A and B are shown apart, each in its own frame.
Chain A
Amino acid sequence: MAAGPIESAVVESCVVEGRRFGDLRGVQWRIDLGILPSSASSTIDDLRRVTANSRRGYASLRRQLLIDPHVPKDGSNSPDPVIDNPLSQNPDSMWGRFFRNAELEKMVDQDLSRLYPEHGSYFQTPGCQAMLRRILLLWCLRHPEYGYRQGMHEVLAPLLYVLQADMEHLSEVRNLYEDHFADKFDGFSFHENDLTYKFDFKKFSESTEDDKGSEKSPGRITSLSELDPKVQAVILFSDAYGAEGELGILLSEKFMEHDAYCMFDALMSGAGGAISMAQFFSPSPYGSSHTGYPPVIEASAALYHLLSLVDSSLHSHLVELGVEPQYFALRWFRVLFGREFALEDLLIIWDEIFACDNKKLEKPCENDADSSSGVLNSSRGAFISAFAVTMILHLRSSLLATENATKCLQRLLNFPEDINLGKLIAKAKSLQALAVDANNSAPVIDHTGVYGRSQPTVIRGHSHSVDLSSPKTPLGSVVPESYWEEKWRVLHKEEEIKQNNAEKQVPTRRNGWSEKVRMRLTRTESDPTSSIVDNGRKVPKSSVRRSLLKDLAQQLGADEDAEKLIDDENIEQEVPGDVVGQDNNDGNFTCTSEQSGSTGSAASEQNSSIFSDPPSPISDANDHGNRSERSSVASNFSANENDANDNSAEASCTNLEAPPLPSSDPPHGTSVKSEQSVDSGGKGPAGLKERKLLSGKFQWLWKFGRNGGEGTSEKGVCDSTKAVNCGINPDDPAVSSTVDISSNSGISKGESVDQNLMFSLRNLGHSMLENIQVIESVFQQDRGQVGTLENLSKNVLAGKGQVTAMAALKELRKISNLLSEM
């Protein structure tokens, strides 16, 4: 065919340029998305035919699904009124469909009215809005399993925009090359003064070679083939008499809706490739995925996986803060970065994304028989995740600088405007290969698993294995119950204790310790104000707690042994008197002074009863209990890390509200000690139990230190602990409250770091208040020596009162040190 060589020349030259129709995004994207044939050998004709077919498809879909209930479906028989009345409940009835469509339209309209207001001159025009609405409505009707989700309109808008841009390009070309766009059917252009015998045969034969109908008036204009190939393409695309006639005009205003629908459909359904945008909108797990998570979650996890490969410190930082990837990645993926960049930049990015092939990549068959792992399993998917990682890396410095999860998210969600897009894209391309490999290595999406990997680094030497099997929800739901029940029991127990001052020998160690714990709980529950009320009881309690902490501190045998010993002696002096009033304490304290280990174990057993559901048996199976506590602590830790449970988050909120008592620095010190003891690896079961207690505190400390520090939380921890170590021992009201609070915070993690800081500050304030109150009470007692429960031990109390006052002062000093540090 004569036109063949010219055509192929046109085609080849286009292909050689790399992107076949670089100027015409609409066409290029249609090719990339698979609507138009992408092979180099496809001719313009083929393109036109395919276009025409797709448009026909859309037209018939529209006719079928858009309903005008007044128009009877078949011209002949009018529908049965029983079925087709407006109130009909029949789902098949025309009216039923009409109303369902109306509802969908309302939902779509809500989003459309807010679409791209900065480009409102195009997007907010009624014509454009009507087109968008129809396209979205028809797609959703066609794919009822997805329905309409917010964000689909933002996926569609750039497609329509691109088609519109093509139209504008076309009109520019039309202006420049008017003559080529003349409306000629059979290649002839007859001027009126032509006489047939004057007809120039040479020129005529030239024009017949080009049967696309583009015409050269004799001698005036260059032939079509001499034009810039791109312009040629534009002209050929818009020829009304080419293949398929008007329906085949690739750049057609009339059929913009049809084309946009086809592009949208191809993008959403993935055109048989691996990535289909629709998955990102679906809540149900991707077909052949192993995990039961929605595809967006999977993709987000893959994103973090890639980030961990590329920049593990940033990754661990984000994970520490509890910034889960789907918080920001959901928006990124669902709209393909549409909300992060301006429209022009977005088009460039989408150029790159679509240029990547969407074929599913075959994993090198290792263990899994079923290949497709994950939702991003194609080179296009790899590019998308690589680009997302690049974006995160772009914000690296500001993300690492902030210790606040909310701020991190804010930075991630408000991507800066002034960016070098070229650099980002180049970097993303370099990461793309890595992303492909990352996909192949099949990251485990298990929530605890993904973040469990980073935990060992975060726990900083916490040698406990993360027991991922311990369920978090029971933990979260159990704690509040037992906590409140305990409180109630404590309150009632207090009454009892008030009334009967009888000598209750410790029936079992457990009771004594449970009482201590309960008292501790009441202590934590009661505000500093109530401490004024319970002056008498307060002191012994505080001493109890102090001694408790002393025990713990003892066992952890840290650097400040000397100090501790001194304090130990002090406390031991107090102990007998102190315990008189609280008989259980007596036994316990003596035990403490002798065998700190055993008491510690009892204490921790009690704690474990608070923490984990199955209370570990006190007497036997200490190790058992230890291990369970350890695991529960570990799970606390993981819970802390993972920021998963709403339950526990609420619990934590309530728990943190209720006990206003601060966990001040002393617990930090002890927890550091606990860490050290952990590292030293074994003081026996008791040590483990203490560890549990303290690891709770440690968590708190760690969190606190994180709040205070600048990105190196360890450093912060060490600093605060150093500051605290001196005053660690006489740490009275804080101790038990610390334990509880740390346990609470351990159990419940969902606190934002901000809140922690607030709480810690508030707690600090409370502890200061309490210390002051302790001192006051002590002085009052010294003066009054009346109305205390412990009638027998007044003199001892006096002495103890002094000690407590000193302790409180020390604590105040400590707190001020810490505050100055912060």
Chain B
Amino acid sequence: MVLVLALGDLHIPHRAADLPAKFKSMLVPGKIQHVICTGNLCIKEVHDYLKTLCPDLHITRGEYDAETRYPETKTLTIGQFKLGLCHGHQVVPWGDLDSLAMLQRQLDVDILVTGHTHQFTAYKHEAGVVINPGSATGAYSSITYDVNPSFVLMDIDALRVVVYVYELIDGEVKVDKIDFKKTTTQNAN
């Protein structure tokens, strides 16, 4: 019953002023156990805000981040799942599933969370899951201007993860749910 919040690409203050109000009202401290952020916050104030949601905060460096000391990639284990975190601008072509799968194998994780494209995607790939939480503020990207604010909340429970996707479409919060179960087969070494 671990709740993990995954978000990124906020680009505050350069491209967006703040999270959408509806998102902010939902993100109250006390419910979420971990926060993972793909990067591009960009300033320290956003970091502090995320810290108030939950003290366990993991960030990887995006190309516009002011803080230069975030790592490029990060891995952590929550419950039975291994999570991998990377901003995604390092993986070329941006957003390409196969390249991301290479990164996943490289990090040896079950769930890989990347960003940079500002589009929500969630792929089930081989034995794992590749998730892109999109941009939480709806900031424009190098690829497109039409961005819906979105973020992802994962409910990790033993061998099962339920991915809730929150998107702000036309001013309304839309929630979608995706179920993933981890198969117990071991990866061939």
Contact = CB atoms under 8 A, between A and B. Distances in A.
B174 A99 contact: no
Interface in B151-171: 153, 155, 157, 160, 162, 164, 166
Contacts of B30: 99
A410 interface: no
Contacts of B102: none
Contacts of A99: 30-31
Please report whether the interface of chain A is mostly helix, strand, loop or mixed according to DSSP. loop
Given A70-B157, A81-B164, A99-B31, A86 B176 contact: no
Contact of B173 (A69, A82, A86): A82
A43 interface: no
B26 A81 contact: no
A87 interface: yes
A89 interface: yes
B8 to A, nearest CB: 17
B187 interface: no
Nearest to A78: B177
A447 to B, nearest CB: 40
Please report whether the interface of chain B is mostly helix, strand, loop or mixed according to DSSP. strand
Contact of A85 (B1, B27, B28, B164): B164
Contacts of B177: 81, 85
A495 B25 CA distance: 60
Nearest to B5: A87
A86 B153 contact: yes
B175 A82 contact: yes
Contacts of B54: none
A621 to B, nearest CB: 63
B26 A87 contact: yes
Interface string A347-366: 00000000000000000000
Interface string A81-118: 11001111100000000010000000000000000000
Contacts of A81: 164, 175-177
Interface in B24-52: 25-28, 30-31
A316 to B, nearest CB: 52
Contact of A87 (B27, B160, B162, B174): B27
B97 interface: no
Interface residues of B, number: 20
Contacts of B28: 87
Contacts of B107: none
Taking residues whose C-beta sits less than 8 angstroms from the other chain, chain A's interface range is 10 to 19
Given A70-B157, A81-B164, A89 B26 contact: yes
Nearest to B3: A86
Contacts of A87: 26-28, 31, 153, 164, 166
B28 to A, nearest CB: 8
Nearest to B177: A81
Interface in B126-184: 153, 155, 157, 160, 162, 164, 166, 173-177
A763 B153 CA distance: 67
Contacts of B157: 70
Nearest to B154: A86
Query: Most chain-B Cβ atoms within 10 A of its Cβ — which of A81, A82, A87, A88?
Result: A87
A85 B3 contact: no
Contacts of A70: 157, 160, 162
Contacts of A89: 25-26
Nearest to A68: B1
A19 B178 CA distance: 62
Contacts of B155: 86
Interface string B74-113: 0000000000000000000000000000000000000000
Nearest to A80: B175
A322 B162 CA distance: 61
B153 to A, nearest CB: 6
A318 to B, nearest CB: 45
Nearest to B22: A89
Nearest to B30: A99
A81 B173 CA distance: 11
Query: Most chain-B Cβ atoms within 10 A of its Cβ — which of A69, A86, A89, A99?
Result: A86
B152 to A, nearest CB: 11
A672 B119 CA distance: 89
Contacts of B174: 82
A411 B160 CA distance: 58
A89 B157 CA distance: 22
B21 to A, nearest CB: 12
Contacts of B31: 86-87, 99
Contacts of B164: 81, 85-87
Contacts of A69: 1
Nearest to B174: A82
A86 B161 CA distance: 13
A70 B177 CA distance: 12
A99 B177 CA distance: 19
Query: Most chain-A Cβ atoms within 10 A of its Cβ — which of B30, B166, B174, B177?
Result: B177
A514 to B, nearest CB: 57
A89 B26 CA distance: 7
A85 B153 contact: yes
Query: Most chain-B Cβ atoms within 10 A of its Cβ — which of A69, A82, A99?
Result: A82
B22 to A, nearest CB: 10
Contacts of B3: 86
Given A70-B157, A99-B31, A85 B166 contact: yes
A730 to B, nearest CB: 68
Interface string B41-70: 000000000000000000000000000000
B114 to A, nearest CB: 22
Query: Most chain-A Cβ atoms within 10 A of its Cβ — which of B28, B153, B157, B164?
Result: B164
Nearest to B155: A86
A81 B165 CA distance: 9
Interface string A52-84: 000000000000000001100000000001100
A99 B160 CA distance: 20
A86 B153 CA distance: 8
A471 B25 CA distance: 46
A88 B25 CA distance: 10
A70 B3 CA distance: 13
A85 B155 CA distance: 10
Nearest to A99: B31
Contacts of B162: 70
A81 B166 CA distance: 10
14 contacts: A70-B157, A81-B164, A81-B175, A81-B176, A82-B173, A85-B166, A86-B155, A87-B28, A87-B153, A87-B164, A88-B26, A89-B25, A89-B26, A99-B30
What are the 6 A-B residue pairs with the smallest beta carbon separation, nearest first? A81-B175, A87-B26, A81-B177, A85-B175, A82-B175, A85-B164
Given A70-B160, A70-B162, 5 more contacts: A81-B177, A82-B174, A85-B164, A88-B26, A99-B31
Interface of B: 1, 3, 25-28, 30-31, 153, 155, 157, 160, 162, 164, 166, 173-177
